Amino acid sequence: MNFATRIVQPSNFLSVAAAALFHSEIKNAVDSGADVILVDLRDITSMSSSSFIALVKALKMVRSSGCQLFLCSMNEQIRMLFELTGLDQAFQSFADRDAFNQHIQAHSNVVEARRPFKHEVEPLKTKSLKLAS
Protein backbone atom coordinates (compact mmCIF):
# COMPACT_ATOMS: atom_id res chain seq x y z
CA MET A 1 0.00 0.00 0.00
CA ASN A 2 1.34 3.43 -0.91
CA PHE A 3 0.56 6.28 1.41
CA ALA A 4 1.96 9.72 1.97
CA THR A 5 4.20 10.12 5.00
CA ARG A 6 5.47 13.51 6.13
CA ILE A 7 8.20 13.99 8.70
CA VAL A 8 8.25 17.06 10.92
CA GLN A 9 11.46 17.56 12.90
CA PRO A 10 11.28 20.53 15.25
CA SER A 11 14.60 21.92 16.46
CA ASN A 12 13.16 24.00 19.30
CA PHE A 13 10.00 23.70 21.32
CA LEU A 14 10.48 26.21 24.12
CA SER A 15 9.29 29.48 22.60
CA VAL A 16 5.86 30.58 21.46
CA ALA A 17 7.29 31.22 17.99
CA ALA A 18 8.66 27.66 17.83
CA ALA A 19 5.28 26.23 18.83
CA ALA A 20 3.58 28.36 16.15
CA LEU A 21 6.07 27.16 13.54
CA PHE A 22 5.45 23.55 14.59
CA HIS A 23 1.68 24.05 14.29
CA SER A 24 2.17 25.55 10.82
CA GLU A 25 4.35 22.61 9.71
CA ILE A 26 1.76 20.10 10.92
CA LYS A 27 -1.03 22.00 9.14
CA ASN A 28 1.03 22.07 5.93
CA ALA A 29 1.61 18.31 6.19
CA VAL A 30 -2.11 17.67 6.65
CA ASP A 31 -3.04 20.06 3.82
CA SER A 32 -0.51 18.38 1.50
CA GLY A 33 -2.46 15.13 1.73
CA ALA A 34 -0.33 13.22 4.21
CA ASP A 35 -1.82 10.00 5.54
CA VAL A 36 0.81 9.66 8.27
CA ILE A 37 2.80 12.36 10.05
CA LEU A 38 5.90 11.45 12.03
CA VAL A 39 7.22 14.01 14.51
CA ASP A 40 10.92 13.33 15.05
CA LEU A 41 11.96 14.74 18.43
CA ARG A 42 15.67 13.89 18.22
CA ASP A 43 16.74 17.55 18.44
CA ILE A 44 14.45 18.35 21.37
CA THR A 45 16.21 18.23 24.74
CA SER A 46 13.45 19.70 26.92
CA MET A 47 9.82 20.69 26.66
CA SER A 48 7.60 23.21 28.39
CA SER A 49 3.91 22.81 29.15
CA SER A 50 3.18 24.91 26.05
CA SER A 51 5.20 22.38 24.03
CA PHE A 52 2.98 19.58 25.30
CA ILE A 53 -0.10 21.64 24.46
CA ALA A 54 1.24 22.18 20.93
CA LEU A 55 1.64 18.41 20.52
CA VAL A 56 -1.87 17.72 21.79
CA LYS A 57 -3.32 20.34 19.43
CA ALA A 58 -1.36 18.77 16.57
CA LEU A 59 -2.73 15.34 17.45
CA LYS A 60 -6.29 16.66 17.49
CA MET A 61 -5.81 18.43 14.14
CA VAL A 62 -4.25 15.38 12.51
CA ARG A 63 -6.88 12.97 13.79
CA SER A 64 -9.75 15.26 12.81
CA SER A 65 -8.44 15.23 9.24
CA GLY A 66 -8.30 11.43 9.17
CA CYS A 67 -4.52 11.19 9.34
CA GLN A 68 -2.34 9.51 11.93
CA LEU A 69 0.42 11.10 14.00
CA PHE A 70 3.37 9.26 15.51
CA LEU A 71 6.40 10.39 17.52
CA CYS A 72 9.95 9.11 17.50
CA SER A 73 13.40 9.73 18.97
CA MET A 74 12.39 11.05 22.40
CA ASN A 75 15.19 11.37 24.89
CA GLU A 76 14.75 9.73 28.28
CA GLN A 77 13.80 12.96 30.07
CA ILE A 78 11.00 13.75 27.62
CA ARG A 79 9.81 10.13 27.69
CA MET A 80 9.51 10.37 31.49
CA LEU A 81 7.54 13.63 31.18
CA PHE A 82 5.16 11.94 28.75
CA GLU A 83 4.64 9.14 31.26
CA LEU A 84 4.12 11.55 34.18
CA THR A 85 1.53 13.59 32.26
CA GLY A 86 -0.22 10.54 30.82
CA LEU A 87 0.51 11.65 27.25
CA ASP A 88 2.24 8.34 26.58
CA GLN A 89 -1.29 6.91 26.40
CA ALA A 90 -2.37 9.38 23.68
CA PHE A 91 0.68 9.20 21.42
CA GLN A 92 2.25 6.18 19.82
CA SER A 93 6.01 6.63 19.85
CA PHE A 94 9.02 4.78 18.51
CA ALA A 95 12.69 4.70 19.48
CA ASP A 96 13.75 6.13 16.10
CA ARG A 97 12.76 6.41 12.45
CA ASP A 98 13.91 2.87 11.71
CA ALA A 99 11.59 1.45 14.37
CA PHE A 100 8.74 3.55 12.95
CA ASN A 101 9.42 2.29 9.41
CA GLN A 102 9.53 -1.32 10.62
CA HIS A 103 6.20 -0.87 12.41
CA ILE A 104 4.55 0.66 9.35
CA GLN A 105 5.83 -2.13 7.11
CA ALA A 106 4.70 -4.82 9.56
CA HIS A 107 1.31 -3.19 10.19
CA SER A 108 0.38 -1.68 6.86
CA ASN A 109 -3.29 -1.96 7.83
CA VAL A 110 -2.61 0.89 10.29
CA VAL A 111 -2.70 3.32 7.39
CA GLU A 112 -4.63 1.43 4.71
CA ALA A 113 -7.78 3.50 4.92
CA ARG A 114 -7.21 6.80 3.16
CA ARG A 115 -8.75 9.69 5.12
CA PRO A 116 -12.27 8.80 6.18
CA PHE A 117 -14.96 11.43 6.05
CA LYS A 118 -14.78 13.81 8.98
CA HIS A 119 -17.88 12.35 10.64
CA GLU A 120 -16.21 8.92 10.61
CA VAL A 121 -13.12 10.07 12.52
CA GLU A 122 -13.07 8.93 16.11
CA PRO A 123 -12.63 11.88 18.47
CA LEU A 124 -9.47 12.19 20.53
CA LYS A 125 -9.87 10.28 23.76
CA THR A 126 -7.33 11.08 26.42
CA LYS A 127 -7.26 11.06 30.15
CA SER A 128 -7.08 14.44 31.79
CA LEU A 129 -3.70 16.02 31.19
CA LYS A 130 -1.57 16.84 34.17
CA LEU A 131 0.37 19.73 32.67
CA ALA A 132 2.15 22.15 34.94
CA SER A 133 2.89 25.69 33.88
Confidence of residue 42 (pLDDT cuts 50, 70, 90): very high
Confidence of residue 97 (pLDDT cuts 50, 70, 90): very high
Mean pLDDT of the chain: 81
Residue 14 makes CB contacts below 8 A (sequence gap 6+) with 46, 47, 48, 51
Confidence of residue 131 (pLDDT cuts 50, 70, 90): very low
Confidence of residue 2 (pLDDT cuts 50, 70, 90): low
103 has a pLDDT exceeding 70? yes
Determine the Cα–Cα distance for residues 1 and 17; give it in Å rounded to an integer. 37
DSSP 8-state code for residue 118: G
pTM value?
A: 0.79
112 has a pLDDT exceeding 60? no
31 has a pLDDT exceeding 60? yes
DSSP 8-state code for residue 121: S
| Cβ neighbourhood burial of 34 (10 Å; 0-12, 13-18, 19+) | buried
111 has a pLDDT exceeding 70? no
Helices (H), 1-133: 16-31, 49-64, 76-85, 97-106
Q: What is the pLDDT of residue 4?
A: 85
Closest CA to 36 of 95, 103, 85: 103
